[in-house]
Amino acid sequence: MINERLAEMIRVALLQAQREERLPTVEIPQIVLERPREKAHGDWATNIAMVLAGKAKMPPRAVAQVIADALGDDKYINKVEIAGPGFINFYLSNEWLYEVLRDIDREGESFGHSTAGRGERVQIEFVSANPVGPMHVGHGRWAAVGDTLANILTARGYDVEREFYINDFGNQMNIFGKSVATRYVQLLGRDVPFPEDGYQGEYIRDIAREISAAEGDAYLDFAESERESLFLERSYKQVLEHLKVTLEKMGVVFDSWFSERELHASSAVDEAIAGLRESGYVYEEGGAVWFKATAFGEEKDRVLIRANGEPTYFAADIAYHKNKLERGFDRLINIWGADHHGYIGRMKAAVQALGYPADKLEIVIGQLVNLMRGGEPVRMSKRTGEMVTLDELLEEVGRDAVRFFFLMRSTDSPLDFDIELAKEQSNENPVYYVQYAHARISSIVRFAEAENIDLSGGIDYRRLETEPELDLIRKLAEWPEVLERAARQRALHPLTAYAQELAAVFHFFYTKCRVVTDDKELSTARMALCDATRTVLRGVLTVLGVAAPERM
RNA sequence: GCGCCCGUAGCUCAGCUGGAUAGAGCAUCGGACUUCUAAUCCGAGGGUCAUAGGUUCGAAUCCUAUCGGGCGUGCCA
């Protein structure tokens, strides 16, 4: 990228200046290039002169002057300027901008992608909702975040796998079976109390109703425990299928579904504990089996097997992570809700106890979604029965807006999602703003083609020379940097921000520059610019999982 | 109590490893369609960056303290 090229030029200039003794021979720090906020300050700027001034015992501007004098000519640099307290500002030539358009034309939607990940195997585990009911809105956020993170890491050259960990073991499953069974019995007229900790949601009744509609009272005289376990299996399957359908509506497809039950069934949990015991990180106390998390700087040790002989969720999770690590991934990324953040330390401790470096496991913590309806908070608990499900949200707001909204905010800040607002605002929605830019370009391209303007006969990019045109190309040129940074920081909201910026710059260009004119050469060049913009816009929308409509 | 995250415009939020005059959207007000999509564009108002110190050429950004908010701190999952 051009900033790397500039940094290298500066480094060469510094070395030369030092050789010529115009600068004292001090160690050269990392050369940082940044985009100035003010357009008047050029395309790129560096503060290197100010950083060096102290060590060199020279005024910053004098250092800057020496560096500027030592810089060689470059066809992509128009002008170098010293400004303010000692910034060196670089103004790029239009030739460089035209080169960007050629890159986009050559690379298509993969413009901005790279091979930086070198095929490293990354597994992202996300959503992992308990299969005891429909997904709530928070799950939708993890789905969007995990899927898009997977998309951008793929674009950066990583070999990414999406996995859903099914928590289909333990107490909440039993309660689930008991809830359905009770509703079934009630439905058939028996006055039995609903379990105090049972799931209140209407969907429990729906499942019970389906069973009774299909098979009547066939299960009425079963022993309670038998009925419950039968209904549990049946309902579990149904809910799992439903999860997949909902995720598909979100545009999320998992490569792998991993069942917690399998761990227990295959004695993987016992083996994991045995392994830790061999390494000396397990002891017994008070009838329970403990993991020595304190050996890794944790505040306290954690129970693996309760005094009643039941393994904890943590024990299963250790076995799960052991399994993942043994599958040969170079890196594991888990996306967890903020309510799990106290869990990170002990999980990383466990990873180390298993003999792996702690940073092999990376946890992306996301704050939760506060669902609102007309300004009133809506409770999200599975037990209230009145929650708004992800399905309903998708139904009301639509997949594109849902995904875009979930990705718009920094993952580690809580998200207020007001359903009424999202519906009312649908025409003012940022997602429509971006999609409209795409549709508008498509319309222009259709019109231009009808006017016999085509790009196959060669394009003279030099005809693009006004500020709205050049600004648009500059914005296109940012995409690789945006993608790189988002992937590195595991942050998605810069992607939606960029999509909006690109759309805005295009809309401005549209009002200033007519594409189809009497000047065929100019029309062709502008058409090429529209085409490049559309290509990049598609690339952005693709990683976001949002549609790029041809018409609106 | 301790740990993590957070406090920026009326509202919702950006602000990258410290940089030049703190930004965007919404909302408010005022303009722009005989011409490729007005779901668009242009302009205006709106800020003690929670508070107080510190670090330095330079702080919304780093450090400390205080105030305020969220989450966690299970032999739950």
A218-260 tens-digit pLDDT: 999 999 999 999 999 999 999 999 999 999 999 999 999 999 9
Residue A172 has pLDDT above 70, yes or no: yes
Q: What is the mean pLDDT of residues A434-456?
A: 94
In whole angstroms, B3 C1' to A314 CA is 20
Q: Which residue's CA lies closest to nucleotide B3 at its C1' atom?
A: A342
Judged by average pLDDT, the poorest of A88-102, A375-389, A481-495, A497-511 is: A375-389
In whole angstroms, B4 C1' to A341 CA is 7
Q: Which residue's CA lies closest to nucleotide B22 at its C1' atom?
A: A37
What is the pLDDT at residue A117?
94
Distance between CA atoms of A404 and A395, rounded to whole angstroms?
15
Nearest nucleotide to A54, CA against C1' atoms? B57
Q: Which residue's CA lies closest to nucleotide B16 at its C1' atom?
A: A485
Nearest nucleotide to A290, CA against C1' atoms? B75
Nearest nucleotide to A489, CA against C1' atoms? B16
Q: What is the pLDDT of residues A4-32, one digit of tens each?
A: 889 999 999 999 999 999 988 888 888 88
What is the pLDDT at residue A12?
92
Q: What is the mean pLDDT of residues A104-116?
A: 95
Nearest nucleotide to A447, CA against C1' atoms? B36
Nearest nucleotide to A41, CA against C1' atoms? B20
Judged by average pLDDT, the poorest of A215-224, A261-270, A326-335, A414-423 is: A414-423
What is the pLDDT at residue A356?
93
Task: Considering only residues A371 and A540, tell me which one the structure prediction assigns the higher pLDDT.
Answer: A540
User: pTM of the full predicted structure?
Assistant: 0.93
With beta carbons less than 8 A apart as the criterion, state whether A411 and A492 touch. yes
Distance between CA atoms of A487 and A485, rounded to whole angstroms?
5
With beta carbons less than 8 A apart as the criterion, state whether A178 and A192 touch. no
Q: Which residue's CA lies closest to nucleotide B75 at its C1' atom?
A: A306
Q: Which residue's CA lies closest to nucleotide B38 at its C1' atom?
A: A511
Site of tokens 């400004």 = A83
In whole angstroms, B54 C1' to A163 CA is 47
What is the pLDDT at residue A368?
78
In whole angstroms, B1 C1' to A294 CA is 20
Nearest nucleotide to A515, CA against C1' atoms? B36
With beta carbons less than 8 A apart as the criterion, state whether A336 and A411 touch. no
In whole angstroms, B64 C1' to A363 CA is 29
Task: Considering only residues A56 and A102, tell me which one the structure prediction assigns the higher pLDDT.
Answer: A102
What is the pLDDT at residue A3?
85
In whole angstroms, B73 C1' to A518 CA is 72
Residue A39 has pLDDT above 90, yes or no: no
Task: Please report which confidence band the pLDDT of residue A386 belongs to, taking 50, 70 and 90 as the band edges.
Answer: low
What is the pLDDT at residue A374?
63
What is the pLDDT at residue A427?
66
Q: Which residue's CA lies closest to nucleotide B33 at its C1' atom?
A: A511
Distance between CA atoms of A516 and A497, rounded to whole angstroms?
30
3-class DSSP state for residue A259?
strand
Distance between CA atoms of A9 and A342, rounded to whole angstroms?
47
Q: Which residue's CA lies closest to nucleotide B73 at its C1' atom?
A: A342
Judged by average pLDDT, the poorest of A214-228, A294-308, A327-341, A385-399 is: A385-399
What is the pLDDT at residue A424?
66
Distance of CA A288 to the CA centre of its chain: 39
Site of tokens 């180390």 = A352
Distance between CA atoms of A360 and A347, rounded to whole angstroms?
11
Residue A53 has pLDDT above 90, yes or no: no
Nearest nucleotide to A260, CA against C1' atoms? B77
Contact positions of strand B to protein Cβ (< 7 A): 3-6, 12-17, 19-27, 35-42, 56-58, 70-77
Q: Token digits for A236?
A: 């579990």
Q: What is the pLDDT of residues A187-220, one digit of tens each?
A: 999 999 999 888 888 889 999 999 999 999 999 9
What is the pLDDT at residue A36?
87
Judged by average pLDDT, the poorest of A62-66, A141-145, A228-232, A379-383 is: A379-383
In whole angstroms, B1 C1' to A288 CA is 28
3-class DSSP state for residue A129?
coil
In whole angstroms, B46 C1' to A428 CA is 21
Residue A324 has pLDDT above 90, yes or no: yes
Distance between CA atoms of A144 and A135, rounded to whole angstroms?
13
Distance between CA atoms of A140 and A247, rounded to whole angstroms?
8
Strands A369-373 vs A415-418: parallel, antiparallel or unpaired: parallel
Name the residue type at position A403: R
Exposed (0-12), middle (13-18) or buried (19+): which is A48, by Cβ within 10 Å? buried
What is the pLDDT at residue A245?
96
Distance between CA atoms of A304 and A516, rounded to whole angstroms?
71
CA neighbor of A404 nearest in space, from A290, A543, A208: A543
Calculate what percentage of chain A has a pLDDT beyond 90.
70
Judged by average pLDDT, the poorest of A334-338, A351-355, A377-381, A538-542 is: A377-381
Distance between CA atoms of A501 and A491, rounded to whole angstroms?
17
In whole angstroms, B9 C1' to A222 CA is 66
Q: What is the mean pLDDT of residues A353-360?
A: 92
- C-alpha distances (whole Å) from A515 to each of A64, A529, A532 are 42, 9, 14
Distance between CA atoms of A185 and A26, rounded to whole angstroms?
83
Nearest nucleotide to A36, CA against C1' atoms? B20
CA neighbor of A473 nearest in space, from A462, A457, A488, A486: A462
**What is the DSSP code string of A293-338?**
GGGGT-SS-EEEE-TTSPBPHHHHHHHHHHHHHHTT-SEEEEEEEG
With beta carbons less than 8 A apart as the criterion, state whether A407 and A144 touch. yes
In whole angstroms, B65 C1' to A459 CA is 63
Distance between CA atoms of A416 and A422, rounded to whole angstroms?
11
Calculate what percentage of chain A has a pLDDT beyond 70.
97
Q: What is the pLDDT of residues A462-497, one digit of tens each?
A: 999 999 999 999 999 999 999 999 999 899 999 999
Q: What is the pLDDT of residues A440-449, one digit of tens each?
A: 999 999 999 9
Average pLDDT, chain A: 91
In whole angstroms, B71 C1' to A413 CA is 11
Q: What is the pLDDT of residues A510-546, one digit of tens each?
A: 999 999 999 999 999 999 999 999 999 999 999 999 9
Task: Please report which confidence band the pLDDT of residue A425 belongs to, taking 50, 70 and 90 as the band edges.
Answer: low
3-class DSSP state for residue A410?
coil
Exposed (0-12), middle (13-18) or buried (19+): which is A138, by Cβ within 10 Å? buried
Nearest nucleotide to A451, CA against C1' atoms? B36
Listed in sequence order, the residues at least 6 apart from A117 whose beta carbon sits closer than 8 Å to its beta carbon are A153, A156, A157, A158, A159
3-class DSSP state for residue A266?
coil
In whole angstroms, B28 C1' to A346 CA is 51
In whole angstroms, B47 C1' to A160 CA is 44
- C-alpha distances (whole Å) from A82 to each of A9, A53, A356 are 16, 14, 50
Task: Considering only residues A368 and A426, tell me which one the structure prediction assigns the higher pLDDT.
Answer: A368
Its ipTM equals 0.94
Q: Which residue's CA lies closest to nucleotide B36 at its C1' atom?
A: A444
Residue A114 has pLDDT above 70, yes or no: yes
